[in-house]
A and B are shown apart, each in its own frame.
Chain A
């Protein structure tokens, strides 16, 4: 056998077909995916998506580092003429890598934290609701509350993201919404396990979490993170009857439309908006956040070159939040540059991962570009400090 001969593995091919529901077979190798992938903008070689798909079709084992680059932003899928769910193919390949214990350093530790701490951030479960401090939030009761505020792990523990949670609470209280939360008992949604391809563990978490929701009589909830929203909406098998997961921007937009949430305090900003991939491209919610922005007096929205369907990922999805990316390869650097080009004085988004990545890159700029979550901006427009 010559050195460049490769082993074709029928069994692997069949497993991949099974794991992706046959999607990988649809690919006819046009290469639109590789061209669309944002990695091409930051790395000379980009991420060879087409090649990864080809190898998958042939049953060639792929355990290379590129498997873990994919942020599951879905830009490739959006351009694919065959409609292949390419992020799902990456997740399936990652699942096979998990089975062989060949995964990126740092990811097993993240899953262990999910296992022992019920959050991926290695934080004590007993302090999950510490962010709510003296807000006097009520524990969800289906008889009294119209909606559950599902905070999520990042907004529970990351002090920067906690500010989103507190801003959102202020808005909901202002609008007179009767809502509850789950305090320290809030279970993790499991998205971080899913996006790095550990499907079996995700399913275990999802089964447990939906059981909690069913027991507590939860049907309508809003999440802070689009990542939680996405798995609740698209990846949970067993859901309570009448299940209606929402992203908080959708909920707030509803309140705005119903005039329950009004913004009397005019601001004077020009803002540009980052579409979080998991809200926009993956769930086609482009308008709710923009409707809120439009309702804020004195706020002018200017769009970046890549927006809505073409929105550029912050780099934090697909498990990348737990992996190191060299400074020169961060999508957020490009995104922040695009934001500056609009002339906007604020960059707003609606996802704790986007906030974290963009703020990190913005803080390296010479010109100040504050990065805010929409909830934080909205709080300013009701005349209160978040």
Chain B
């Protein structure tokens, strides 16, 4: 039986609480924010590594971004991934989901013979949750989304997953190759194994692909390939708790509570 070749899409994101909008310039200040692997992508990585524990095969990390993401991505090697592919070119900058998925899809096509692509449910920065499906569309592959459990049958060449739906779940089966999005917090990502971490620094474990290597069309990548534009930015209301005491007669308090409930959910 052949062993699966698994690709996990990983995004490096700034820690959300350290990102600010400059009140004067109205621009996003993220330069000083610490970087981390997008937490939902850690769940995808863990699911891929669990499959590798069971079926052998390889787990490769695919990411798009500037070269300085490298040390953060190498964390994935410490967890047990085999290789990193970083798609990095100035032409890829400023991409929205259409351009991002186009570029990632090119990366996967260039890798050839990939059996399954795993993605986190969404990113903590953009939070669009559209990359897995968009990627599947560019590749013309089937998709399994919001999966909490996943099996691969290499003999029948299918993937079977448990997809979360409103109030429950469904079990779906699709032929390989396919794209899977892993439901956030559906597993606990393993910590780095320090024996692997020592090897993770080896330069041979990472390959950087630029636009020329990927043979991407400049009209489809980066800002040029992105239909959407950000026309305004603002900091959301402060996340400091208000600690406001509701006082008065019990009727007044209930009325105030209903007002709060209305404003937050109704």
Contacts and interface: CB of A to CB of B under 8 A. Distances in A.
Given A124-B17, A125-B34, A108 B195 contact: no
Given A99-B195, A116-B36, A200-B194, A105 B188 contact: yes
A112 B192 CA distance: 9
A106 interface: yes
B188 A109 contact: yes
A204 B200 CA distance: 15
Contacts of A258: none
Interface in A162-200: 198, 200
B17 A112 contact: no
Interface in B159-212: 188-195, 197
Interface residues of A, number: 20
B119 to A, nearest CB: 19
Contacts of A111: 191
Which of B15, B75, B191, B197 lies at the interface centre, i.e. has the most chain A CB atoms within 10 A of its CB? B191
Contacts of B190: 101, 108
A198 B191 CA distance: 10
B191 A112 contact: yes
Interface in A97-131: 98-99, 101, 105-109, 111-112, 115-116, 124-127
B18 interface: yes
Contact of A108 (B17, B34, B189, B197): B189
Contacts of B191: 98, 107-108, 111-112, 115, 198, 201
Interface size class of B (residues with CB under 8 A): 10 to 19
A125 B32 CA distance: 13
Contacts of B34: 116, 125
A108 B46 CA distance: 12
Nearest to A125: B34
B62 to A, nearest CB: 21
Nearest to A101: B190
Chain B CB count within 10 A is highest, among A107, A112, A198, A204, for: A112
Contacts of A116: 15, 34, 36
Given A106-B188, A125-B34, A99 B18 contact: no
Interface in B3-59: 15, 17-18, 34, 36, 42, 53
Contact of B193 (A99, A115, A124, A204): A99
A201 B194 contact: yes
Nearest to A198: B191
Among A99, A105, A127, A200, which residue has the most Cβ atoms of chain B within 10 A? A200
Nearest to B193: A99
A198 B190 CA distance: 13
A101 B194 CA distance: 12
Contacts of B36: 116
Interface in B36-91: 36, 42, 53, 75
B79 to A, nearest CB: 10
Interface centre among B34, B192, B195 (most CB of A within 10 A): B192
A112 B194 contact: no
A198 B193 CA distance: 9
Contacts of B17: 124, 126-127
Contacts of B18: 124, 126
Nearest to B46: A108
A260 B189 CA distance: 51
A111 B17 CA distance: 20
Interface in B116-168: none
A198 B197 CA distance: 13
Nearest to B36: A116
Given A124-B15, A126-B17, A101 B188 contact: no
Contact of A98 (B15, B42, B188, B193): B193
B238 to A, nearest CB: 13
A115 B15 CA distance: 13
Contacts of A198: 191, 194
Given A101-B53, A108-B191, 16 more contacts: A98-B191, A101-B190, A107-B191, A108-B189, A112-B189, A115-B75, A115-B191, A115-B192, A116-B15, A116-B34, A116-B36, A125-B15, A126-B18, A200-B194, A201-B192, A201-B194
Ranked nearest first, the 6 interchain pairs of A and B with the lowest CB-CB distance are A200-B194, A108-B191, A111-B191, A124-B17, A116-B36, A101-B190
Interface of A: 98-99, 101, 105-109, 111-112, 115-116, 124-127, 198, 200-201, 204
18 contacts: A98-B193, A99-B195, A101-B53, A105-B188, A108-B189, A109-B189, A112-B189, A115-B191, A116-B36, A124-B17, A124-B18, A125-B15, A125-B34, A126-B15, A126-B17, A200-B197, A201-B192, A201-B194
Interface of B: 15, 17-18, 34, 36, 42, 53, 75, 188-195, 197
